[in-house]
Amino acid sequence: MLEAADTIIQGLLLGGLYALFAIGLSITYGVMRLVNIAHGDLLVLAAYLALWPVTSLHMNPFVAILPVVVLMFCLGYTLQRVILNRTMGTNFLAPMLATFGISIILRNGLQQIYHSDSRSFDIGALGVDSIHLGPYIAIGEFPLIVFVVSVILTLATSLLFSHTRIGVALRATSDDAQTAGLMGIRANRTYAIALGLSLALVAVGGVFAGMRTTFTPESGPASLLYAFEAVVIGGMGSLWGTFAGAVILGMAQGVGAKVGAGFGILAGHLVFLAVLAFKPTGLFERSR
Amino acid sequence: MLQVRNLVARYGDFQALFGVDFDLKQGSIVALIGANGAGKSTFLKSIAGQMPSKSGEIRFNSEEISTLPPDRIVREGISLVPEGRRLFRSLSVEENLKVGGFAGRKGRWTLGAVYDLFPQLKDKRHTPATALSGGQQQMVAIGRGLMANPDLLMCDEVSLGLSPVVIKDIYKVFPQLRAESLSLIVVEQDIDAALSIADYVYCFMHGKVTLRGAPEELTKEQISAAYFGLEAA
């Protein structure tokens, strides 16, 4: 019984990391119906961006997150303004193909520079220390930190959307970009901020992922898949829905791994497929 | 204040406006009447910058604005209340109104002033805008347009789908707004409603202006001829 509780808790904490992967994807889909195929590769890029200050300047990887977040925001803003805004319009396929191209460029670019050696960030004892709650339940300190950060960032993002001027502008543009233009809101700029925000959030997920396990230039697609699954399970375009979707995915993987080694990821996919089959709009679809 | 010369607009291959000339004096209400598809809405969209394919001159306060995008035109002081209201569905009434003020022009229109004009909205300010009745939604749309603190407010199809009582309620604010030296262009299919408030009327048919004049100068026969394209019997 307690062992089962432990499995659930581990899955929940893993879900926190997946939420960091997924929230950004949820934002770009929610605001501008952009399915960002490069999302996972951008996550890996963020990890590589943190690599230099950590290895050369001996910066603590937790501290390195901050400059990487800023850089990734700027990158997102620029990508949208310079490339993706030109593809936005009635056809959702065009921006999607553009991100597919970006994905290929990123993966091969990273391969060229860093080769395929796997890397990770050393966080010392923090990576293995855990808080013991009785003989069966142990909560890893690092996964707990990731989970708490993930909750805080999801909350901050949802407050940004509900309570700030830019958040209201993002929602208005998402509802009706043309009418928002009549109010003086430039959709091109709003979209750029949305992608900036998306990449700032995935940057945190990318560096955390690098602390938890290893990464290579080829790690992107798997991360994209988990992010995508979390967004679909939770319901397109809803932030807390996406968070819940990530947690469900994490738990499914945890339970699956308990059933048998190698079943973890498969169990996640099965839950994803079940949601697609029985409630394709997601479990927590934003009510409209 | 607004001068339009030889305005031509098209949707792809379809030409919607054929050389429209139009003048508006500051502090007046101009009504645009005409049947469906006559080009009234296209005319407003052209002024607001929403028609990418157009030619001709549009001067506002003696400045050429025909090449500006919508977000610049609202900053110049022209606000469009679009056809079908087009409220932001995931935003509350108050958020919709706030978005109206995002262009950043200063003036007398604030949330409080809009609630004074339309007191019904105040109690509903935290309700999703699209949960309101049609009349109240139209009030939100007009309030949102006013929040931009425009010099010229353009209202497209204000009375569409509303009951006569509600239409009367909404129409009584227009003279109030004119009294504050706001200029208005109102697109209206209901001729009587239009004539009751307008200082000047333009009748559109097939993308051309077929009749223009002050309401008291126009006869019913002239108007039906211009509206339906029929010769007066």
Which domains occur in chain A, in start order?
2-278 (1.10.3470)
pLDDT score of A99 more than 50: yes
| pLDDT(A19) > 50 | yes
What was the pLDDT predicted at A90?
A: 77
Partner residue facing B91 (CB), from A171, A184, A286: A171
Phi, psi at B3, each rounded to 5°:
-130, 125
Q: Which residues of B touch A286 (CB under 8 A)?
A: 90
Q: Mutating which of A31, A158, A168, A183 best tests the B interface, going by the most B Cβ atoms within 10 A?
A: A183
Count of other CB atoms within 10 angstroms of residue B11 = 11
Instruction: Give the gap in angstroms from C-alpha A26 to the nearest C-alpha of chain B.
Output: 16
SS3 letters across chain B: CEEEEEEEEEECCEEEEEEEEEEECCCCEEEEEECCCCCHHHHHHHHHCCCCCEEEEEEECCEECCCCCHHHHHHHCEEEECCCCCCCCCCEHHHHHHHHCCCCCCCCCCHHHHHHHCHHHHHHCCCEHHHCCHHHHHHHHHHHHHCCCCCEEEECCCCCCCCHHHHHHHHCHHHHHHHCCCEEEEECCCHHHHHHHCCEEEEEECCEEEEEECHHHCCHHHHHHHHHCCCCC
List CB contacts (< 8 A) between A178 and chain B: 50, 70, 86
User: Is the predicted pLDDT of residue A287 greater than 60, yes or no?
Assistant: no
Nearest residue of chain B to residue A181 (CA atoms) = B71
What average pLDDT score do residues A142-170 get? 96
pLDDT at B229 over 80: no
Residue B79 to residue A171, Cβ atoms within 8 A: no
| For range A145-152, the mean pLDDT | 98
Given a contact cutoff of 8 angstroms between Cβ atoms, the answer to whether A265 and A253 are in contact is yes
| Residue scoring higher pLDDT (A285 or B233) | A285
**Dihedral in degrees, nearest 10, Cα atoms A33, A88, A158, A215:** 80
Residue position matching structure tokens 């610049």: B72
How far apart CA A195 and CA A203 sit, in angstroms, is 12
Chosen from A162, A171, A179 to mutate, greatest number of chain B CBs within 10 A: A179
Average pLDDT along chain A? 94
| Residue B110, domain CATH | 3.40.50.300
pLDDT at res. B95: 97
Chain A residues near residue B89 by CB distance under 8 angstroms: 175-176, 288
In sequence order, the β-bridge partners of residue A130 are: A140
| A32: confidence class by pLDDT, cuts 50, 70, 90 | very high
Instruction: Give the pLDDT of residue B66.
Output: 93
B90-133 pLDDT, tens digit each: 999 999 999 999 998 999 999 999 999 999 999 999 999 999 99
What is the pLDDT averaged over residues B36-61?
A: 93
Could you read off the pLDDT of A234-247 as tens digits, one per residue? 987 789 999 999 99
Residue A143 pLDDT > 80, yes or no?
yes
Note whether residue B233 is domain-resident. no
pLDDT-derived band at B233, boundaries 50, 70, 90: very low
Tell me the C-alpha distance between A133 and A284, whole Å.
Answer: 32
d(CA B167, CA B135): 8
| Residue B176, domain member (yes or no) | yes
pTM as predicted: 0.91
ipTM of this complex: 0.91
Q: What's residue A288's pLDDT? A: 39
Q: What average pLDDT does the segment B142-166 reach?
A: 93
CB of A274 closer than 8 Å to CB of A248: no
**How confident is the model over B1-22, as a mean pLDDT?**
93
A169, A183, A288: residue with CB nearest B148: A183
In chain A, how many H helices and how many E strands?
A: 11, 2
Residue from the list A175, A183, A184 with its beta carbon closest to the beta carbon of B89: A175
Domain total in chain B: 1
Average per-residue pLDDT for chain B:
92
Q: Do B88 and A179 touch (CB under 8 A)?
A: yes
Give how far the C-alpha of residue B228 lies from the chain's centroid of Cα atoms, to the nearest Å.
22
Asked if residue B90 belongs to a domain, the reply is: yes
Q: Do B70 and A175 touch (CB under 8 A)?
A: no
pLDDT in tens, A60-95: 999 999 999 999 999 999 999 999 999 998 788 999
d(CA B127, CA A233): 28
Residue pair B219/B213 in contact (Cβ under 8 Å)? The answer is: no
Residue B231 has pLDDT above 80, yes or no: no
For chains A and B, count residue pairs whose Cβ atoms are closer than 8 Å.
Answer: 66
CA A286, distance to chain mean position in Å, is: 19
Instruction: Give yes or no for residue B35 having a pLDDT over 60.
Output: yes
CB atoms under 10 Å from CB of B233, counted, come to 6
Nearest CA in chain A to B45: A182
Q: What is the arithmetic mean of pLDDT over A169-181?
A: 95
**Whether A178 and B50 lie within 8 Å, measured CB to CB:** yes
CA distance A208 to chain B (A): 33
Q: Give the closest-approach CA distance of B113 to chain A in angstroms.
A: 18
Flag whether B155 is in a domain.
yes
Q: Is residue B130 part of a domain?
A: yes
Interatomic CA distance for residues A175 and B86, integer angstroms = 9
All residues of chain B having their beta carbon less than 8 Å from the beta carbon of residue A168 are 91, 95, 98-99
pLDDT (mean) for A217-244? 93
Are A185 and B104 inside 8 Å of each other by CB?
no
- CB atoms A169 and B70 under 8 Å: no
Please give the average per-residue pLDDT across A262-286, as a whole number.
Answer: 91
Average pLDDT over every residue of A162-176: 95
Hey, what are B42's tokens? Answer: 């296209």
Contact B88 A169 (CB under 8 A): no
Tell me which of A160, A182, A287 to substitute to probe the interface with B (most B C-beta atoms closer than 10 Å). Answer: A182
From chain A, the residues in CB contact with B74 under 8 A are: 182-184
Residues B102, A169: C-beta atoms closer than 8 Å? yes
**Chain A residues lying within 8 Å of B102, measured CB to CB:** 165, 169, 183-185
Q: Residue type for B214, please?
A: A
**B230 pLDDT tier (thresholds 50, 70, 90):** low
Are the beta carbons of A182 and B70 separated by less than 8 Å?
Answer: yes
Find out whether A131 and A147 touch, Cβ atoms under 8 Å: no
Look up the domain containing B167 and give its range. 2-228
Q: Which residues of A touch B98 (CB under 8 A)?
A: 165, 168
Please choose, from the candidates A250, A262, A3, A259, the residue with its C-alpha nearest in 3D space to the C-alpha of residue A138: A3
Position B103 in a domain = yes
Tens-place pLDDT, residues B187-223: 988 888 888 899 999 999 999 999 999 988 888 888 8
- B171, amino acid identity: Y
User: For residue B32, what are the CA distances in angstroms to B86, B121, B185, B188, B205?
Assistant: 20, 28, 7, 6, 11
Q: Give the closest residue to B121 by CA, choosing from B149, B90, B93.
A: B93
The answer to whether the CB atoms of B104 and A176 lie below 8 A apart is no
- Nearest residue on chain B to A189, judged by CA atoms? B71
CA distance B69 to B81: 16
Does residue A285 surpass a pLDDT of 80? no
Q: Which residues of A touch B104 (CB under 8 A)?
A: 184
Q: How far is CA A198 from the centre of its chain?
A: 8
Give the pLDDT mean for A171-197: 96
Report the half-sphere exposure of A114 (CA within 13 A, side-chain side): 21
Question: Looking at the predicted structure, is the pLDDT value of residue B232 above 60?
Answer: no
Note whether residue B47 is domain-resident.
Answer: yes
- Chain A residues contacting B, CB < 8 Å? 165, 168-169, 171-172, 174-176, 178-186, 286, 288
